[in-house]
Amino acid sequence: MIRLRQPSIFKSKEVGAVFGERDSWITPIKEYLVNDVLPSDPLEAKRLKYRATRYSVLNGELYKRGYSRALQRCAGPKEAIGILRSIHSGNYGNHAGGVSLAHKTLRQGFYWPTLFADAKRVAARCEACQKIANNIRHVGN
């Protein structure tokens, strides 16, 4: 049995910041737009440059620009599900279906790449919607 005299990972602000944001799709785009940091892989760098043309950083937040709509704030994976649940079954929620929920989220000014898939999943797993539906399709988390 090996006994460590000190932790192998030190607690610091940098470690939390790096691991907290590295899993997000927002980080590489924001790093490129703010600090001009590109991945070492040339193909990935080219893809990132192409994707980053559709985004802007305002007041430290990443926004997606559209042709005929206002700026949409980009949400990370942790924040996205909370936004969907709030719109779907919050105070003014109407328990809409997946596609309707996704479009309502876009109109509210939010965006993330897996919005439509996440909206369908949230709507399908809503227990209140399943209780009043004609045929119960799915109940659970």
If you count them, how many residues does the chain have? 141
Is 75 in contact with 111 (CB distance < 8 Å)?
yes
pLDDT in tens, 62-90: 999 988 778 999 999 889 999 999 999 88
Which stretches of the chain drop beneath a pLDDT of 50? 12-22, 141
Which pair of structure tokens corresponds to residue 117? 């898939």
What's the pLDDT score for residue 26? 92
Contact partners, residue 45, CB within 8 Å, separation at least 6: 38, 39
Mode of pairing for the β-strands spanning 72-74 and 110-111: parallel
Name the 3-class secondary structure at 47.
helix
